[in-house]
A and B are shown apart, each in its own frame.
Chain A
Amino acid sequence: MTPLEPSPPVTARETYLNAGYSLKSWLLALDHKRIAILYFVSITLFFFVGGAFATLVRLELMTPRGDLVSSDTYNKLFTMHGIIMIFFFLIPSIPATLGNFLVPMMLGARDLAFPRLNLLSWYIFVAGGVLTMVAVVSGGVDTGWTFYTPYSSAFSNTSVVVTVVGVFVTGFSSILTGLNFIVTIHTLRAPGLTWGRLPLFIWSLYATSIIMILGTPVLAISLALVGAERIFHVGIFDPASGGDPLLFQHLFWYYSHPAVYIMILPGMGVVSEIIPCFARKNIFGYGVVALSSLAIAFTGFLVWGHHMFVSGQSVYSGLVFSFLSYLVAIPSAVKVFNWTATLYKGSISFHTPMLYAFGFLGLFTMGGLTGLFVAALGVDVHVHDTYFVVAHFHYIMVGGMVMAYLGGVHFWWPKISGRMYPEWIARFSAFVVFLGFNLTFFPQYVLGYLGMPRRYHSYPDEFQVLNVLSSAGASILAVGYVLPLIYLLASLKYGKAAGPNPWIATGLEWQTPSPPPTSNFPTTPTVTAGPYEYQDMEVPFVQR
């Protein structure tokens, strides 16, 4: 094995990375690619902070007694794990990093429609994050990420107001990103790039952006009202003053259900880019896959009541929400079938992005199928608020979304950094993630049906075996997440130079050098074909 030596600099020409080295040129950057890097750094930080809280939670849950931390501390740990992972990692992740970097490039544009708004959205994100970290270090918050009233508005003794302000502020970051994407996709498409030729990543971000702008404001007002209630004791959600706790749940879930589609749709978009490239085939059912993203976005707004089947809402509401919840599952299933069909008669290679895409296919399918369980009224009565639900959403968010994110990061890493990552370590890492993930979360389905409720600090002895399995899996999963951090950073110095299109992929972004110059394209390209004409291209990486 050759000793590690820094590779020669990738290029002597101007790229977005060497266009300025000062801190100011980064912190006041208007280039969408630099802003994407700023987001990469911040959300990676938040991912590991949220992961640290998860580690402590899983450590505590290895034993039935609450013996590692106090009950109050435990309640803060799971609350802050949820808040950080959802609002500061999952929601921004793919849109603000890969989306910001790639949307203009995939459209043949020089930048997003509103570069200054883009930079502002990052600063708002950081401000919200700082506020929430202030809440974390000044005593924490223990309401659960769902902030149910009247506990959050009248009973909790923790930093609820600072937290809701932090999340409120961060919501605007989401809104501005979504707004920017919608306007960019409408107005800055290159000549010849009709809606029917858009990459599916763009379609998925378009659908995501619609949810961002129509859902986030309702979260903002719900949290604002909780804050007002805590400060002014106004009684909006407190039954002792005539308020209705269920009104909070309706307002909160009106955003927070579509929010899960904000989290998963971009991941689906990434998978739609990876599979055609590594199967060398046009995606099967392009039109259906594109429209299914819109169908998910639309229907996703109609199902929030499925979080409230046992809350005291009427049986008839339950029926409506259950039925609509089955409707929203169908477009996702259709996507899975189309992705699988794309593999048929393809020419498949197993590079790291494709391994993550396979992982997504399997784990998203499993997580999505368990959605059928929780949407079934009679079964949900039993599994609501148990570890079954925890397993369900982690399968989709972590088994689906995070794997798609890692797949996308690996796929576009050469374009973003100009370097290749080390392929074999990366493949090994993908397997570690897959294995660790399943060991962590599959036992939780069983735990949930057995009756172990969520948010429990201590639990009856008979649940211990499954909890130990889950915690063991978590330790493996952690390794799988730390490895990419190390080797991706190392590749910046030691990685092979990537060249403009190491994957021989379609897509306008691959027509630029790696890393790209600040203005992306010297002249605006013209598009004359669909997005996945792989059958017209050479087949790389052929084994002897």
Chain B
Amino acid sequence: MNESFRLLPESASSVAASTDALYFFLCAISAFFTLLIFGLVFYFAVKYRRRSAEPPPRLAASNALEAFWTLVPFGIAVVIFFWGAKLYFHISRPPSDAMDIYVIGKQWMWKVQHPNGRREINELHVPLGRAVRVTLSSQDVIHSFYVPAFRIKQDAVPGRYTVTWFRPIRAGIYHLFCAEYCGTYHSHMIGRVVVLEPERYQAWLSGTPLDEAPEEAGASLFATLGCITCHGARAPTLAGLYGSEVRLADGGTARADEQYIRESILDSTAKIVSGYPPIMPSFRNQLTEEQLFDLLAYIKSLKDPLEKRKAQE
């Protein structure tokens, strides 16, 4: 209770000001209509309070008035809808230069994986000014990744990946809450997002000993699980797979995004690549969510040889 009383959380991300702007507009509209109704009711109650036995006059219905107070609120609603939708589109589309962070919700903690192998529990260190794409999943029940200071929130759903992003604009330490009830210690699933100026972030990054980078961990898994035995010869090549369009045996196509790669590992017969037999074993129940992320990071790093040459030129 030694902080000054606030009506708004801190504004620490690039979307905070836009969210607050829409919020203020909504507050203004609400204040206007609240005062209007309270005011009118109060005014009419006083002005037309019962003073005589005279019955009130009959008032004609007015279609014009009904139309007016239907269309004006509708117009306001449309404005709010478009404004909110625009903001939502922006919040849903991570910029292409965003750095990847993987977060797994688990009863009752947040497990964070950095691209270079750094892992954190209930803390997320990020550099100031850089967009961060957070890919979320859950190991058990639905959680929700919520940073009020950034005005962002996204559910972490078991069995799938969801994505949110933010660009921090102020250094500082901000609350990370779980915002989807998840059992006994739901309210203890609180963490911190630590936004550091770039130099201090670098210092933190190289500070303590690193775990293996996800790509390297993924490469080891790829070998030890035997993936390499097929996916070098008999099975579709994985170089350049990520982001490409895949021709499927049933004639359709699929985009090889994170969800596709995850499904291919866990439910290998769901989508068979055209020209290949359906003999890949399933790795469901053999991998933790972290290992899946590591494999994903490794497969994403496998560039098409042609692209690699182009990049080198």
Contact = CB atoms under 8 A, between A and B. Distances in A.
A4 B154 CA distance: 61
A433 B144 CA distance: 35
A538 to B, nearest CB: 7
Given A245-B159, A534-B55, A365 B33 contact: yes
Interface in A333-374: 333-334, 336-338, 340-341, 343-350, 358, 361-362, 365-366, 369-370, 372-373
Interface stretch (B61-69, B198-206, B237-245, B296-304): B61-69
B26 A373 contact: yes
Contacts of A451: 9, 146, 148-149, 175, 177
**Interface residue range, chain B:** 35 or more
Given A151-B182, A155-B140, A535 B57 contact: yes
Contacts of B234: none
Contacts of A19: none
Contact of B48 (A243, A310, A347, A457): A347
Contact of B153 (A245, A315, A318, A384): A384
B83 A378 contact: yes
B55 A378 contact: no
Contacts of B80: 326, 372, 375-376
A378 B91 contact: yes
A154 to B, nearest CB: 8
Nearest to B181: A455
Given A151-B182, A456-B187, A535-B56, A378 B146 contact: no
Given A378-B22, A451-B175, A464-B1, A456 B186 contact: yes
Given A155-B141, A284-B59, A462-B3, A279 B175 contact: no
Output the residue of A72, A242, A344, A451 with the most chain B CB within 10 A. Answer: A451
Nearest to A244: B159
A541 B37 contact: no
Contacts of B38: 362, 365
Interface in B19-38: 19, 22-23, 26, 29-30, 33-34, 37-38
Contacts of A454: 179, 181
A348 B84 contact: no
B222 to A, nearest CB: 24
Given A343-B44, A381-B151, A453 B84 contact: no
B85 A329 contact: no
B7 A379 contact: no
A288 B88 contact: no
Nearest to A378: B87
A311 B157 contact: yes
Nearest to B38: A362
Contacts of B183: 75, 142, 151, 155-156
Given A333-B73, A340-B44, A345-B59, A246 B157 contact: yes
B146 A312 contact: no
B162 A312 contact: yes
Contacts of A462: 1, 3, 6
Given A71-B185, A376-B83, A385-B146, A449 B8 contact: yes
Output the residue of B18, B52, B180 with the most chain A CB within 10 A. Answer: B180
Contacts of B86: 378
Nearest to B180: A385
Nearest to A364: B37
B41 A465 contact: no
Contacts of A279: 48, 56
A211 to B, nearest CB: 22
A543 interface: yes
A377 B26 CA distance: 13
A486 interface: no
Q: Is the interface of A mostly helix, strand, loop or mixed?
A: helix
Contact of A362 (B37, B66, B153, B180): B37
Contacts of B311: none
A282 B87 contact: no
A369 B50 contact: no
A285 interface: yes
A148 interface: yes
B85 A379 contact: no
Contact of B157 (A245, A382, A449): A245
Given A72-B184, A281-B56, A288-B66, A453 B178 contact: yes
Contacts of B26: 372-373, 376, 379
A381 B152 contact: yes
Contacts of B3: 461-462
B88 A381 contact: yes
A144 interface: yes
Given A280-B55, A377-B84, A378-B19, A75 B186 contact: yes
Contact of A465 (B5, B52, B78): B5
Contact of B66 (A334, A344, A373): A334
A315 B33 CA distance: 30
B310 interface: no
Given A75-B184, A366-B34, A459-B187, A280 B56 contact: yes
A458 interface: yes
A522 interface: no
Contacts of A144: 181
Output the residue of A312, A338, A366, A375 with the most chain B CB within 10 A. Answer: A312
Contact of A378 (B56, B69, B88, B140): B88
Contact of B57 (A345, A349, A362, A375): A345
B188 interface: yes
A449 B11 CA distance: 12
B45 interface: yes
Contacts of B152: 381-382
Given A144-B181, A150-B141, A344 B45 contact: no
Nearest to B76: A372
A376 B162 contact: no
Interface string A65-102: 01000011001000000000000000000000000000
A213 interface: no
Given A337-B69, A347-B50, A376 B81 contact: yes
B29 A369 contact: yes
7 contacts: A310-B144, A322-B84, A326-B78, A338-B66, A372-B29, A450-B8, A453-B179
Given A346-B48, A372-B77, 4 more contacts: A348-B48, A372-B80, A379-B84, A382-B148
**Which 4 interchain pairs have the tightest Cβ spacing?**
A239-B159, A451-B148, A378-B87, A376-B84
